[in-house]
């Protein structure tokens, strides 16, 4: 079975932005460390923004929850 790290490398090599969003989100979901999870979420969020994906809203909300993105008043 191919590891998540290997899948990320392949997705980067292929410049498959949609897969990168999903893989970085998965990495965040599997992380036991908040800092690491937010690192992955940030990558997923940036790629989702680049793609124009609706997933960017959800990813941003997760970053806001962890104090990594400001709320908009």
In whole angstroms, how far apart are CA 33 and each of 1, 42, 56, 72?
Answer: 24, 14, 21, 26
| In a domain? residue 71 | no
Stated pTM of the model: 0.92
pLDDT at 1: 67
Domain that holds residue 9: 4-65
Neighbours of 11 (CB within 10 A): 19
| In a domain? residue 54 | yes
Please give the residue that has the higher pLDDT: either 64 or 69: 64
| In a domain? residue 51 | yes
pLDDT at 71: 84
Question: Which residue do the tokens 């923004």 mark?
Answer: 49
pLDDT tens figures, 14-64 = 999 999 999 999 999 999 999 999 999 999 999 999 999 999 999 999 999
Total domain count for the chain? 1
């Amino acid at each position: 079975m191919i590891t998540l790290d290997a899948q990320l490398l392949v997705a980067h090599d292929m410049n498959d932005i949609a897969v990168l969003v999903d893989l970085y989100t998965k990495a965040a979901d599997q992380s036991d460390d908040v800092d690491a999870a937010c690192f992955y979420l940030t990558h997923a969020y940036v790629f989702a923004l680049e793609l124009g994906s609706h997933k960017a809203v959800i990813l941003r909300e997760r970053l806001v929850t962890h104090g990594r993105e400001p709320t908009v008043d």
